[in-house]
Structure 1
Amino acid sequence: MSATLEALSKTLNTHLGDRVKSLEVAFGEVTLEVDAADYLPVMMSLRDEPALAFEELIDLCGVDYSTYANVPRTGRRFAAVVHLLSVSRNWRLRVRAFAPDDDFPSLPSVTAIWNCADWFEREAFDLYGIVFPGHTDLRRILTDYGFIGHPFRKDFPLSGYVEMRYDPDQQRVIYEPVTIEPREVTPRIVRESTYGNTDNA
């Protein structure tokens, strides 16, 4: 472990104390995990504590851990993962907090701490269904307003539920059940010489 990562880990443990649920150093990065109840106060400490001084939020994303790394997982399913940067201290940190309820995942919004989290939280809501109480404009950002479901959840069907098209007769956009026909896709280099030839059937 580098001296910088060791110093960061020690500083985090000193200033956050028992709010640190776990602290890992891997692949040259520090990952801090906190409980949902401690998420907001920890984030405020990370920004305001002079010894930590994480002035910038670089990224915030949702994660569905239901089958993380192709292995079924026990425990909570949805988490927000935040990447922070301290320019003055020249160090980075990853913070993870799991939503306590898988049926209605929810974590406090950090937009009052870093206002750049606005669109990141909207994306996590849109794609994973994670709700961020305290966000002033939590609505879909990538999918259509009438979209059903959250497409980055691992149980979301690959072809979706409905498809959208413009109907010239009704002169409006309409939604219909998905009509995608499953088909076999075989790379050309491994096809048999008779692939697709119905004469030999």
Structure 2
Amino acid sequence: MSAKLERLCRQLKESFGDRIGEPVLSLGELTVAIPAENYLDVMRQLRDDPAFRFEQLMDLSGIDYSEFTGYQGKRFAAVSQLLSLTHNWRLRVKVFAVDDEFPIVASVMDIWNVANWYEREAFDLFGIHFEGHVDLRRILTDYGFVGHPFRKDFPISGYVEMRYDPEQARVIYQPVTIEPREVTPRIVREETYAKGGGRG
């Protein structure tokens, strides 16, 4: 561990104690998990405390842990990537939603405005609700889209399909008509493959 990350790790433990999980270093990056009940307070302190000064939220995304081998914890997490320009260090922060059936975590929009679209994306794709978000609605899928496509239990072909119906002169939704099929890659090329032009 670099001296800078050692210092950050030590400061995290000293400042937050049992309000955060044990910091973990992997592949040169420091990660800390924050219990949902402490999330907002800790994130605000990470931004405002001169010892940390994480001025920028670089990214925020959702994760569905339901198919991680050997994993026994909560299913959904929101993961933030923080950057301190003052100290030139980075920190990954995880917060797990308490309820797997209706995942809710606090919004950090009031701390970093840029969280707006990131949280909307995590809501759209994973179904994580960000409490306190002022405009939580879909951002990548259609407003009438059913489900959350990045969840591990979402079917590959979806639930419904959308098409324009010329008889009704409008867009309609209908059950999926695509038959799922297994695609086997072609590993043997025909003998004439290279003769039609190109480098033959």
Q: Is TM > 0.5 for Structure 1 vs Structure 2?
A: yes
Q: Deviation of residue 20 (structure 1)?
A: 1.6
The equivalent residue for 2:142 is: 144
What is the CA-CA distance between 1:191 and the residue it aligns to? 8.5
Partners of 1:108 and 1:182 lie apart in 2 by 38
- 1:149-176, Cα deviation, whole Å (9 max, x unpaired): 0000000001100000111111111001
Q: Which residue of 1 aligns with 2:66?
A: 66
Match of 1:40 in 2: 40
Mapping of residues 187-198 of structure 1, within 5 Å: 187-190=185-188
Quick one: which amino acid aligns to residue 7 of structure 2?
Answer: A
In structure 2, relative to structure 1, the CA distance for the partners of 1:81 and 1:133 (3 Å cut) is same
Structure 2 equivalent of residue 199 of structure 1: none
CA deviations on 1:77-103 (whole Å, 9 max, x unpaired) are 000000000001000000001000001
Q: Secondary structure at the match of 2:17?
A: helix
- In the alignment, structure 1 segments of 5+ residues that lack a partner are 193-201
Structure 2 gaps, min length 5: 191-200
How far did residue 44 of structure 1 move? 0.4
Contact 1:66 1:72 in 2 (8 A): no
Distance 1:115 1:73, change over 3 A: same
Identity of paired residues, percent? 65
Tell me the SS of whatever aligns to 1:137: coil
Q: Secondary structure at the match of 2:187?
A: helix
Q: CA RMSD in A?
A: 1.5
Q: Is 2:26 aligned against 1:26?
A: yes
Of 163, 167, 188, the match for 1:169: 167
Q: Bigger CA drift: 151-160 or 19-28?
A: 19-28
8 Å CA contact 1:22–1:34 kept in 2: the answer is no
The DSSP-based 3-state class of the residue aligned with 2:40 is: helix
The size of the alignment, in residue pairs, is 191
Residues 68-126 of structure 1 show CA distances to partners (whole Å, capped at 9, x for unaligned) of 2xx15212100000000000100000000100000110001000000000000000000
TM-score by length of 2: 0.92
Q: Residue 56 of structure 2 aligns with which residue?
A: 56
Measured after TM superposition, the shift of residue 190 of structure 1 is: 4.5
2:101 corresponds to 1:108: no
